[in-house]
Amino acid sequence: MLGDLIISARELKKVYGSGILGRRKVVALDGVSFDVFEGEVFGVLGPNGAGKTTLFKILLGLAKLTSGKATIKGIDISSRDARKSMGFVAEESYYYGHLKLKEHMKMMADLVEFGGTEKDMDDLLELVGLLPWKDAKISTLSRGMQQRFGIAQALLGDPDILILDEPATGLDPIGRREIRDLMVSLKERGKTILYSSHQLSEVEMICDRVMILDKGRPLKISSLDLLIGGLGGFEIVASGVRTQDGDELSGLCSSVLRKGERVVLRLDDESLLFPCIDILKGMGARIVSISPVRESLEDVFIRLVRGDEEG
C-alpha cells in the first residue's frame, strides 16, 4: 500500500546548450512526469545518457529546469528548503581527502544544521560500519568505504528522502552487497529512496516501483510486480522425442532445442501447454519437467529500450 505523495514531478524538461554560444541543443529530459510515495524504493533505470543523473541533479537544485515543475513534500525544488528533506550520494564522487572521517561528518552536519550530538554522528558511522575508522583520513579509505561514508553523510539530519545515484559503481561484489543491505535496512526504517543502478538484479531485489528512461523520456513507470509478474510462457523438458517428430512440435513451440537425449521446448502461448503435452504423449515421449517462464527486469528493460529505438 502506497504512503503519502512525497515527490511530484510534472513535464520536466531540461535542454542543455553546447557548442559555440550554446547553439547546439541537447535534450536531456523531455517531459518526464512521475510521483514517488513515502516509504517506497523507486528505481530510476535507463541506458547511459538516458537522463537519470540529470533528473537527480534537477531535484537537488544542482541543475536548472528548462520547463516543468517538481515538488518535494509540497515545496518547489527551486527553494532551498526542499533540500532539507533530502540526502544525496553522487555517482563516483570524491570527498575532501585530507579530512578525517569525523571531521568530514562534522562539516556535513553543520551544512544541514544538524541538531544532534557527536554520539549521533558516531551512530550513523556505526550504521554504515565505519565507526572504527572515524579518525582515518578519507583518502586512506577504499572506494567502498567512501561510498558507505557517502550514505552516512546523506543520512545526517534524518532526511525523509535519499537519492542514490549508482551507489555501487566501481565496487566489488562484497561492496555491492553491503550497499544493498544498507538500503534494505533504510527501507525498513521508512526512508523513501530514489535509486539508480545498472545492476538490474539488485533493482529487482530492492525496488518497489521503477521508471525506465530512455533519451530523456519515460518509457514505463510501474511496480515491479506488474512489470515482471506476468507469465512469459512455459518451458518443457522431454526425452525420447524422435527427430522426425520435431517438425510437428515446432509448429506449436517458439523454440525446440535438442540437448543430447533431451529436448527443451519453449511455449510463449500459455494456451498451447496442454495440446503440446498431448502431442508428446502421443509420440511416446517422457516429460521430464514443466516450468513457467517469467520475464526478468533485464528482459523487460531491453525489450522496452530496443522497442523505443526501433520505434
CB 193 within 8 A of CB 41: yes
Name residue 229's amino acid.
Answer: G
Report CA Rg, the chain. Answer: 25
Is the Cβ of residue 109 or residue 272 nearer to other proteins in the bound state?
109
Please identify which residue in 25, 98, 177, 242 interacts with other proteins, judged by CB under 8 A: 98
Please state, in angstroms and as integers, the Cα–Cα distance from residue 181 to each residue in 134, 146, 168, following that order: 21, 16, 12
The order of strands in the sheet holding 286-294 is 255-259, 262-267, 231-239, 286-294
Dihedral of CA atoms 289, 294, 298, 303 in degrees, nearest 10, equals: 110
Please identify which residue in 32, 45, 108, 211 interacts with other proteins, judged by CB under 8 A: 108
Is the Cβ of residue 194 or residue 256 nearer to other proteins in the bound state?
194
| Maximum Cα–Cα distance across the chain | 78
13 binds other proteins (CB under 8 A): no
Closest alpha carbon to 282 in 235, 254, 237, 240: 240
Question: Using CA atoms, how far apart are residues 228 and 303, in angstroms rounded to an integer?
Answer: 12
Q: In sequence order, which residues have a C-beta less than 8 Å from that of residue 148 and are 6 or more positions away?
A: 128, 129, 130, 178, 179, 182
Stretch that binds other proteins, among 82-90, 204-212, 231-239, 269-277 (CB under 8 A): 82-90
Is the Cβ of residue 193 or residue 227 nearer to other proteins in the bound state?
193
Please identify which residue in 2, 67, 96, 185 interacts with other proteins, judged by CB under 8 A: 96
180 binds other proteins (CB under 8 A): no
238 binds other proteins (CB under 8 A): no
Is the Cβ of residue 78 or residue 201 nearer to other proteins in the bound state?
78
Stretch that binds other proteins, among 89-97, 170-178, 187-195, 239-247 (CB under 8 A): 89-97
60 binds other proteins (CB under 8 A): yes
86 binds other proteins (CB under 8 A): yes
Please identify which residue in 93, 140, 142, 254 interacts with other proteins, judged by CB under 8 A: 93
Stretch that binds other proteins, among 103-111, 127-135, 198-206, 213-221 (CB under 8 A): 103-111
Number of residues near other proteins (by CB under 8 A): 35
Question: Using CA atoms, how far apart are residues 80 and 145, in angstroms rounded to an integer?
Answer: 29
Question: Using CA atoms, how far apart are residues 207 and 223, in angstroms rounded to an integer?
Answer: 8
Question: Using CA atoms, how far apart are residues 4 and 203, in angstroms rounded to an integer?
Answer: 22
Please identify which residue in 61, 68, 116, 170 interacts with other proteins, judged by CB under 8 A: 61
By CB under 8 A, name the binding residues for other proteins: 16, 57, 60-64, 80-81, 83-84, 86-88, 90-96, 98-99, 103-104, 106-108, 110-113, 150, 153, 163
